[in-house]
Amino acid sequence: MINLMNHKSKFRAWLFVPLLLLLLPLAVEAGKFKVGDVVQVYDDWRKEWKNGTVVDINRRGELLIETAAYGSLRREVYQPKIVRFAYEDGAIGPARTWTDTSGTFKIMAAPLGVVEDKIRLRREDMSEIEVPIAKLADADQRLIERMKAEMGIRATPSPDPIEPIRFAGTDNENLNAFGSVGLAEERIAILADPLPSYMVIPVGGVGFGKHYEKEQFGLIQPIGGPSGLVLISAEYPVDPRKTDEIDRSRIAWISLKDKKITKEQALPDGEMVLDYHPASRRLLTYRYGRIVTTFGRRKCQLSIWEVMPTDESVKPIISWEAYPEDGYDKEPWARLISGDLVLHRFADKQYVGWDVANKSVAYRIFQDNTWSTPPTLSGTAKYGFLVENKSVRIFDAMTGTTITKLITENPIKLATPSEDGSKLATLEENTLTIWNLTDPSAEPVAHPAESIGGSMAKEMYWVNNDMLMIKNFMEMILYDLNEGIAIWNYHLEHGTVTAVKESEGRQTMGVLNGHLVYGAELMSNGVRAGLAVGNVKLPGPNVREKVEGVSREDLVVLKPGSKVRLEVRCGDQYNPTVYNALVAKIQENGWELNQDNYDAIMHAEIKRGESITRTYRFFGFTRAPETVTYTPIISKLDLTIGEDTIWLNQTSTGPGMFVSGDETIQQQVDRQKEDVNFFTRSRIPPMILDPKYGRGFGSTKVSTKGLEPSTLKN
């Protein structure tokens, strides 16, 4: 199927809609085109419509059309089915003669869409009118009803984008800026802010057809209520560098109870959905403005619409320019705190609270965090939890005011409040910590998390009071707090599940009430035929039976009291320094240094790798590409039992992401030396689990069929 749609010349491709193919004999009358008509023909190579003029028509009805290409005129023969009048641009069907009930009023026009009880038509002179459907002839009314039934919201004209404004205070970083405050003198309690009681959805799934092949999920948000609603958005994948290559977006309300789409509403072409706030019935979307300045920096416009699951269309409220003057290079992250306040990542490590009612900046927060982790919100968005390097800032999401801080010894990657609002889970490199938010005197409970922490972790969800799900780039790992171990892992079926390119700004998967809510792409004979939403209960088949009775102690292969042999191969210059640093770590972990009778061997090594030659290009094209040759210096530290590596950490020198001043990349790599401090910086856990079970005792595939156990470990 050819997708004929683009922003410059949008055409609803009526020739490729099955219903209208049946209607073609009624719509395309003999002699529709005549010599001299100004028309458009579809260029399959350039994937766009181009203007032309009918020069001649042969007996078979084929059209000789003259077009302009690369400064010259060209004549080619076209079949009528890939030719349209200019006034059919954007139509949902071919131009035809429309007649009123009396038969006296007739007009040649293209249908642009159905607007409530009227149909919008465009005449040959490009003027548009809306005609009450009830005043048209029976044949016309039947045609409209068939179009509506077959096309759904595609028979409705796309709403226009809202013209954006610039809020007061957008460019003043000092206005209402709270910054990164110092350490709180004491922890204080906060009131639990649980999820609303209506946020419950039943187990099940609903599949539905695509409007075009590239359509994909932008949002999958559980709403709940009596019908078990899930709100989804289906969108065209927009490249911010090519904002003219867009197509229609839509939202759909899916009832898992009734197993169907209950309502759909159209959004402007290229509009993408970030969040929905049920209490205020407001929808938050964004779109990109054209990038004309710094390479790769995007200009994002946020918009708010009002919509309910029963509405025919979305109601525009406001749109504003939500970007620094020179743009921002990451995908948008924003959430509705209320109907009139939006928390938005405005720039790197900088968040703005937008006061929609007053069209101004309500507050601005600066984050101190290596990973720039976006904040998480409590059940009704009363509190925000902002990860900083060695703390979590808890702030009032309506005002931006810091309420308290939770202080940790090590940098934090993720923080997630429990669904009942009483606890907070924080994930560090090797530790998962549970905090009691309502009782500041309660000591945080730390759990070992060697195999699930670190920079690979992207999201964290509470499954129940005893289990959390940690999502990384490749899989989701189920962690048992009682045993302090990962018990299972889940992976998405390749090429099927989650049709949207995932990013931290989009909500396309989550855990609610112990259930995994996710989206899937339906494949049929290699064709992306449809989309589906599923909700399955965790942990899934066979999991509880497999892990019953297993404890962390059963999996430990190295622990305090174990005997360790130390081997250092870092060169005569560095061997003593590295040896002494690692002896201190062995003693710190409660291990016994024994070179003859040992349970495991610790290896430390510094070596040079193979020579590498690469060409690097600079962002912004301010400098010419540079070809660099270097030999990386590799620092490696591991622990082995027999031939099995039970723990590993290593680093390597090489070109960095930034080059200062007039320094070349070659000069940067030439001055790099052995990283002896790597061995001092390395944090080795005192208890090491058998890596065979580091990601759980089995694996489950998440597919269009639900949860399918695929691998069990002995």
Q: What is the pLDDT of residues 25-74, one digit of tens each?
A: 333 433 678 999 889 998 777 767 889 999 999 988 899 999 987 778 98
Tokens 């997630």 correspond to 416
> For the domain that residue 634 is a member of, what is the CATH number?
3.30.160
Q: How many CA atoms lie within 13 A of 352 on its CB side?
A: 25
Counted domains in the chain: 3
Name the least confident of 47-61, 169-183, 513-527, 699-713.
Answer: 169-183
When comparing pLDDT for 13 and 504, which is higher?
Answer: 504
Mean pLDDT of 424-439: 93
Question: CA-CA distance, 308 to 310, in Å (whole number)?
Answer: 5
* ∠ Cα 393 395 396 (to 5°): 175
75-133 pLDDT per residue, tens:
999 988 889 998 888 788 888 899 999 988 899 999 998 888 999 999 989 999 999 99
**Confidence category of residue 245, pLDDT binned at 50, 70, 90:** low
707 lies in some domain: no
Flag whether pLDDT at 240 surpasses 80.
no
What pLDDT score was predicted for residue 376?
Answer: 96
Confidence of residue 410 (pLDDT cuts 50, 70, 90): confident
The domain spanning residue 132 has which CATH number?
Answer: 2.30.30.700
Residue 706 CB: number of other CB atoms within 10 A? 20
Q: What is the pLDDT of residue 9?
A: 36
The answer to whether residue 179 sits within a structural domain is no
pLDDT of residue 4 exceeding 70:
no
pLDDT of 24 reads 39
What size, in residues, is the chain?
Answer: 714
- Compute the average pLDDT of residues 548-561: 88
561 burial via Cβ count (<10 Å: 0-12, 13-18, 19+): exposed
Q: Which is more confident, 702 or 494? A: 702
* Residue 476 shares a structural domain with residue 336: yes
Do 567 and 519 belong together in one domain? no
**Is residue 177, in this structure, part of any structural domain at all?**
no
286-290, 379-383, 569-573: least confidently modelled range: 286-290
Dihedral (Cα; 499, 501, 503, 507), 10-degree rounding: -20
Decide if pLDDT at 217 tops 70.
yes
If pLDDT is split at 50, 70 and 90, which confidence band does 12 have? very low
Does a structural domain hold residue 161? no
Stronger pLDDT, 2 or 302, i.e. the higher one: 302
For the chain, the straight-line distance linking the first and the last C-alpha, in angstroms and rounded, comes to: 48
Whether 236 and 332 share a structural domain: yes
Whether 374 and 484 map to the same domain: the answer is yes
For residue 164, is the peptide bond before it cis, meaning its omega torsion is within 30 degrees of 0? no
Residues 131 and 269 in one domain: no
**CATH classification of the domain holding 433:** 2.130.10.10
Domain co-membership, 250 together with 390: yes
Which of 547, 576, 609 is where one domain is finished?
547
Residue 224 lies in a domain: yes
Structure confidence at residue 469 (pLDDT): 96
For the chain, percent of residues with pLDDT exceeding 90? 53
Do 368 and 445 reside in the same domain of the chain?
yes
Clarify whether residues 534 and 592 are in a common domain: no
pLDDT at 279 over 90: yes
State residue 143's pLDDT score: 93
Q: Are residues 498 and 592 in the same domain?
A: no
660 vs 315: CA distance, rounded Å: 50
Whether the per-residue pLDDT at 714 is higher than 70: the answer is no
Q: Are residues 473 and 569 in the same domain?
A: no
Instruction: Check residue 525 and give its pLDDT.
Output: 75
pLDDT value of residue 498 = 47
Same domain, 626 and 650: yes
State which residues form the domain around 630. 560-686
Residue 194 domain flag: no
| Percent of the chain's residues with pLDDT above 70 | 88
Residue where a domain stops, chosen among 116, 140, 155: 155
> For residue 710, is it within any domain?
no
Looking at the fold, whether 211 and 315 belong to one and the same domain comes out as: yes
- Distance CA(236)–CA(244), nearest Å, equals 12
For the ranges 305-319, 451-465, 592-606, the lowest mean pLDDT is seen at 451-465
Does the pLDDT value for residue 496 go beyond 60? no
pLDDT grade for 7, boundaries at 50, 70 and 90: very low
Mean pLDDT to the nearest integer, 321-337? 87
Residues 6+ apart with CB under 8 A from 464: 514
Residues 412 and 443: their CA atoms lie apart, in Å, by: 18
Which position has the higher pLDDT, 459 or 452? 459
Q: Is residue 261 situated within a structural domain?
A: yes
Is the pLDDT confidence value at 617 over 90?
A: no
**What does the pLDDT average to over 265-280?**
94
Asked which of 97, 123, 155 is the last residue of a domain, the reply is 155
